Amino acid sequence: MNGAPAAMDPIRRLCVIGVGLIGGSLARALRAAGHCGEIVGCGRGLHNLQRAVELGVIDRFETDPAVAARGADMVVLSVPLGAFRSVFAALLNHLADDAVVTDAGSAKQCVVDDVRSVFGMIPPFFVPGHPISGTEQSGVDASFAELFQGRRVILTPLAETSGHAHGRVQTMWTRAGADVVDMGVRHHDEVLAATSHLPHVLAYSLVDTLARMDDRAEIFRYAAGGFRDFTRIASSDPVMWRDICLANREPVVAALDAFGQNLGLLADAIREGDGERVLSVFEHSKRSRDNLYRE
């Protein structure tokens, strides 16, 4: 592509479709790093977009993805997984010649299927991605430039993905402060089902179970810090997590089945008063958790 920017060159015009926690934080981080010029936001919530301009997160906004992406050399989709196909359809035949398109979706196979369905192929300019970071908050007011510092971003480039596009997205996330790694699409979805999607399902299920008990007011009144810490992620956007679970349903169900089987064995040990088995599970868990986060 003649005149195409090198991978390390700053982004001339960044288009962020979905200016929430992730999209807004990426815009803030790249602006702080001096790695982009104009930033154009796009979304359906006018108040959120207007707020993004007030906060200096974006320079201007459009509500039509095709108009927002006009002239952009980097387009980032940070929308609910259920909205990807319609956004890709809106972008079809409206991207600049040098545009690179990437995303921040929590599942990857569904995104790959959507882009292939709309474009009839995997465009060489498309680089699937997923930043492994976030909070239970949402909206542009929750965004901050340091969100990705020292956090991991997984890219799942496909055989059709160009090295140029891959390099530009790698550079973008590196300049935002992230550690970038590559992974296969299927492997990504299996790993994230176990390490991210399953914990969210468990947190939602635990709070829902306790909230349905007759004495729930008494239960929540005496909930300690451990309950608060474990269930914090149940305050995340329910619609987003519904979409993630359904989009990545097979790996999520496999993780739930494995957890359910292990939980059943632990319940049997407690029921039978088998302290040795209970202690063995707890000690193994403690060693694993301590080793995982050992500094």
Kindly state whether residues 82 and 67 are assigned to the same domain.
yes
Residue ending a domain, choose from 183, 203, 233: 183
| Domain presence at residue 3 | no
pLDDT value at residue 212: 84
pLDDT of residue 8: 80
Where the chain has pLDDT below 70, the residues are 1-4, 214-217, 295
Report pLDDT for 96: 96
CA atoms within 13 A on the CB side of 105: 32
Q: Give the pLDDT confidence score for residue 277 in this predicted structure.
A: 96
pLDDT score of 144:
95
User: 108 near 188, Cβ under 8 Å?
Assistant: yes
Please list the residues that pair with 11 across neighbouring strands: 36
Is 194 in the same domain as 179? no
Do 256 and 110 sit in the same domain of this protein?
Answer: no
Q: Report the greatest alpha carbon distance in the chain.
A: 72
On whether both 236 and 284 belong to a single domain, the answer is yes
pLDDT more than 70, % of the chain: 97
Full residue range of the structural domain in which residue 177 is found: 11-183
Residues 54 and 133 grouped into a single domain: yes
Is the C-alpha dihedral spanning 259, 261, 264, 269 positive or negative? negative
Whether residue 262 is found in the same domain as residue 132 = no
Q: pLDDT tens-digit profile of 188-208? A: 999 999 999 999 999 999 999
> In this structure, are 150 and 259 located in the same domain?
no
Q: What is the pTM of this model?
A: 0.87
Domain count, the chain: 2
Over residues 85-107, the pLDDT tens digits come to 999 999 999 999 999 999 999 99
Residue 251's SS3 state is helix
Amino acid type, 207: V
- pLDDT number for residue 167: 97
Whole-number pLDDT of residue 1 = 43
Are 241 and 276 in the same domain?
yes
